[in-house]
Amino acid sequence: MSASHALGVSDRELMIKSLEYRKDVLRIISHAGAGHTGGSLSSIDILNVLYNRVMRISPARFDQPDRDRYIQSKGHCVEALYVVLADLGFFPRSQLTTLCEYGSHFIGHPTRKVPGVEHNTGALGHGLAFGVGLALGLRHDDLRNRVFVLLGDGELAEGSVWEAAMAAAHYELDQLVAIVDRNRLQITGPTKDVLSSEPLESKFGAFGWHVRTVDGHNVAALTNALTVPPPQGKPMVLLADTIKGKGVSFMEGVLKWHHGVPDVDEYRRAMEELGAALRQVGGHQ
Amino acid sequence: MSARTPSMYSDDARQRAARLGLRLGRPNLEEFAATLTEIAARDRNVMVVTSDSRGSGKLVGFGQRLPKQIVEVGIAEQNLVGIAAGLAATGKKVFAVSPACFLTARALEQIKADVAYSDHPVVLVGISAGVSYGALGSTHHSLHDFAALRAINNVSIVAPADNKETHAAVLYASQAVHPVYLRFGKAPMYDVHGPETGNHVRSAMVVREGTDVAFIAIGEAVIHALLAAEDLYDRERISCRVVSVPALRPFDQGPVLAAARECKALITVEEHSVCGGLGEACASLLLESGARTQFKMVAIPDEYTVTGSQADIFRHYGITMEGLARTAHRLLESI
């Protein structure tokens, strides 16, 4: 991938953003004493590429019908979304530290009271059907805007996901993109042990979807997978292979960080690691 | 569906309706479908979503006339509501139509999270509601929908009594900027309103004046209360008021409180479980307001219903002219 991307931001700039976002995620979770650390860190690169490179969306035109839509079906990883929306200017960054405070709109799952959020989520298995409805509505108005729905791999045990998957293929919604943050862990343990949803490639394929598998932490690969259009008439699913807790060595792939909150020492170590990584890619500390 | 559909009315009740000059209209469901089709023909933003339910929803004609404004999701009620919410979020006026029993139970979380909490103004249309499906049994009855939706914030709950209230309800829903639940049965309905009332659904309406007993009734039970009131007066000069309450939310308290002040006894009537419906709404209102009145709830008791047709079930639980007249008698005797 070239250093400067056609859409205005280079891969290196995105990598820097990802590290800064990770620091912000840890900062607000640490401040609040609550949050879904592991999943926010596994999904942050996906959100980064979507919001900074792929989607046609901005605070200025959030009320325009011809905007792209992002639905975070795995609503619990809301800290990643808050951090990215703040960076895009949907609200002042200072509001991030009200996370989970009395009276704050910045609660543990997305709501439309937060600028930039399209839909209230939190109960799993809801986002894809909502996305199907959005895509049908856009098509009804002859708009070609795209709809992106982020799901967790654990979430795929919800039957309603597959009802929506059937409808998306039936209605040939090639404007709709599902992204599975396949970090392979859920609150009880490895997804393959709790209730295996694999093999996802063939399952989604059998449901009539165009399937792409991608490294969910590689901004260039994500960009490519999200910008090359799927075959006409096919909804697309991106199986993004990710690591829960990605970016902090002692959190990566460790179950307790599903919603673990770092203590003072863990926070310091995590920030040091991310700072070192930032220096390595030439970003500010 | 059963091959024979017994009348919802005894011979006496039919004669009473005839003497009153009540017109027997069409099923509210048909009135709903006709009104909605008219509205949608003028506005391509009005859309219907069905879950293999366009036949039962009387929307086959809608689908033929306006094929681009109907979305079929198959037998998948959760998907029905989720998709309806997404459509609404793109500015469509969406009517999600499905049997009330499945819509408000199978898809209850979608109603709560995707429609009500997210405030996408979907119109949820529960068809063949209450015990309309009769002998198909309790899987197909919706005797919980008022209770479930009353406990979910931000959904108007409207159950029209006759064709006129139905027409008004569909207009109200088509203009609503927040979620609405409409509840329809499938039996033909007598008109309960004269020219002066029934033109909107936001307030409870006195459809018959009286001072001894007040029947506070909702939806397709109102007609039975009206016939009972006429019967009681005609035979025994017992003066009965009948109040039609088209909406449980917003709940128009005034006519209920007035009835409690001005009548000796108050009877609520509904095609719903005794738990969580109109009766309990009135009971809590009356107790909190300090009203002192004889009070009785006529509803389906907390049990799986007796088997039989809708008419059998109504008769068994006293939601008929004769049953309600008996209840009024007993209540007055206890004073």
Kindly state whether residue A245 falls inside one of the protein's structural domains. yes
Kindly state whether residue A5 falls inside one of the protein's structural domains. no
Written as six digits, the tokens of A15 are: 């990598």
Q: What is the pLDDT of residue B54?
A: 94
CA-wise closest residue to B321 among B217, B188, B197, B211: B217
Provide DSSP, A53-85: II----GGGTT-TTS-EEEESSGGGHHHHHHHH
> At A264, phi and psi to the nearest 5?
-60, -45
Please work out, in degrees rounded to the nearest 5, the angle formed at the alpha carbon of residue A127 by the alpha carbons of A146 and A260: 115
CA B220/CA B169 separation, integer angstroms: 14
**Residue B82, min C-alpha distance to chain A (Å):** 5
Provide the pLDDT confidence category of residue B30 given band limits of 50, 70 and 90. Answer: very high
Up-side HSE of residue A132: CA atoms within 13 Å toward CB?
Answer: 31
Q: Is the distance from CB of B153 to CB of B116 less than 8 angstroms?
A: yes
Q: Give the range of the structural domain holding residue A141, as residue numbers without chain letter.
A: 11-280
CA-wise closest residue to B240 among B213, B204, B218: B213
Provide the pLDDT confidence category of residue A186 given band limits of 50, 70 and 90. Answer: very high
Within 8 A by CB and 6+ apart from A151, the residues are A73, A74, A127, A128, A161, A178, A179, A180, A181
Q: By percentage, how much of chain B surpasses pLDDT 70?
A: 98
Q: Is the distance from CB of B61 to CB of B107 less than 8 angstroms?
A: no
B220 touching A (Cβ < 8 Å): no
Q: Which of B86, B87, B117 sits opposite A120 (nearest CB)?
A: B117
B118 touching A (Cβ < 8 Å): yes
Please work out, in degrees rounded to the nearest 5, the angle formed at the alpha carbon of residue A107 by the alpha carbons of A255 and A157: 45
Q: What is the pLDDT of residue A152?
A: 98
- Cross-chain Cβ contact A160/B79 below 8 Å: yes
Residues of A in contact with B112 (CB under 8 A): 123
Kindly state whether residue A3 falls inside one of the protein's structural domains. no
- Cross-chain Cβ contact A137/B78 below 8 Å: no
A168 touching B (Cβ < 8 Å): no
Whether the pLDDT of residue B6 is over 80: the answer is no
Q: Is the distance from CB of B227 to CB of B162 less than 8 angstroms?
A: no
Q: What is the CATH number of the domain that holds A100?
A: 3.40.50.970
Average pLDDT, chain A: 95
A216 touching B (Cβ < 8 Å): no
- Mean pLDDT (whole number) for B70-78: 98
Provide the pLDDT confidence category of residue A176 given band limits of 50, 70 and 90. Answer: very high
Peptide bond into B301 cis (omega under 30): no
E strands present in chain B: 24-27, 46-50, 70-72, 93-99, 123-127, 156-158, 180-183, 188-190, 205-208, 213-217, 240-244, 247-249, 265-273, 294-300
How many CB pairs below 8 Å do chains A and B form together?
Answer: 105
Task: Report which secondary-structure segment, H or E, holds A149.
Answer: strand A147-152
Q: Which residue, among A105, A160, A173, would best test binding to B if mutated, counting the most B CBs under 10 Å from its CB?
A: A160
Kindly state whether residue A285 falls inside one of the protein's structural domains. no
Kindly state whether residue A197 falls inside one of the protein's structural domains. yes
Q: What is the pLDDT of residue B16?
A: 96
Residue of chain B with shortest Cα separation from A158 = B78
- Cross-chain Cβ contact B78/A160 below 8 Å: yes
Within 8 A by CB and 6+ apart from A179, the residues are A46, A148, A149, A150, A151, A237, A238, A240
Q: By percentage, how much of chain A surpasses pLDDT 70?
A: 96
Provide the pLDDT confidence category of residue A285 given band limits of 50, 70 and 90. Answer: low
Residues of A in contact with B44 (CB under 8 A): 140
- Cross-chain Cβ contact A134/B113 below 8 Å: no
Q: Which residue, among A107, A120, A138, A207, would best test binding to B if mutated, counting the most B CBs under 10 Å from its CB?
A: A120
What single-letter amino acid sits at A193?
D
Q: Tell me how far apart the 2 most distant CA atoms of chain A are, in Å.
A: 54
Kindly state whether residue A1 falls inside one of the protein's structural domains. no
**Residue B175, min C-alpha distance to chain A (Å):** 19
- Mean pLDDT (whole number) for B223-231: 98
Q: Which of A119, A121, A163 sits opposite B79 (nearest CB)?
A: A163
Residues of B in contact with A164 (CB under 8 A): 79, 82-83
B52 touching A (Cβ < 8 Å): no
B74 touching A (Cβ < 8 Å): yes
- Domain count across chain A: 1
**Residue B45, min C-alpha distance to chain A (Å):** 9
Whether the pLDDT of residue B235 is over 60: the answer is yes
CA B71/CA B173 separation, integer angstroms: 19
Residues of A in contact with B152 (CB under 8 A): none
- Mean pLDDT (whole number) for B231-238: 97
Radius of gyration in angstroms for the set of CA atoms belonging to chain B, rounded to a whole number: 19
- Mean pLDDT (whole number) for A117-135: 98
Whether the pLDDT of residue A2 is over 70: the answer is no
Q: What is the pLDDT of residue A284?
A: 63
Q: Is the distance from CB of B129 to CB of B159 less than 8 angstroms?
A: yes
- Cross-chain Cβ contact B83/A119 below 8 Å: no
Q: What digits encode the pLDDT tens for the residues A188-207?
A: 999 999 999 999 999 999 99
The one-character DSSP state at B305 is P
| ipTM surpasses 0.85 | yes
Residues of A in contact with B74 (CB under 8 A): 166-167, 170
**Residue B25, min C-alpha distance to chain A (Å):** 36
Q: What digits encode the pLDDT tens for the residues B89-144?
A: 999 999 999 999 999 999 999 999 999 999 999 999 999 999 999 999 999 999 99
Question: Which single residue is written with the structure tokens 């590290």?
Answer: A19
Kindly state whether residue A34 falls inside one of the protein's structural domains. yes
- Cross-chain Cβ contact B87/A123 below 8 Å: no
CA B157/CA A65 separation, integer angstroms: 30
Kindly state whether residue A6 falls inside one of the protein's structural domains. no
A133 touching B (Cβ < 8 Å): yes
Average pLDDT, chain B: 96
- Between the alpha carbon of residue A241 and those of residues A184, A212, A217, the distances in Å are 8, 11, 8
Q: What is the pLDDT of residue A8?
A: 81
- Cross-chain Cβ contact B91/A65 below 8 Å: yes
CA A73/CA A51 separation, integer angstroms: 16
Residue of chain B with shortest Cα separation from A134 = B86
Residue of chain B with shortest Cα separation from A169 = B73
Q: Facing residues of B94 across strands?
A: B47
CA-wise closest residue to A154 among A119, A177, A182: A182
- Cross-chain Cβ contact B90/A131 below 8 Å: no
Q: By percentage, how much of chain B surpasses pLDDT 90?
A: 95
Taken in order of first residue, the domains within chain B and their CATH numbers are 25-189 (3.40.50.970), 202-333 (3.40.50.920)
Residues of A in contact with B113 (CB under 8 A): 120-123, 126
A129 touching B (Cβ < 8 Å): yes
Question: How big, in percent rounded to 5, are the helix, strand and coil portions of chain B?
Answer: 45, 20, 35
Residues of B in contact with A119 (CB under 8 A): 85-86, 89, 114, 118, 120
- Cross-chain Cβ contact A126/B92 below 8 Å: no
Residue A266 burial (CB < 10 Å; 0-12/13-18/19+)?
A: middle
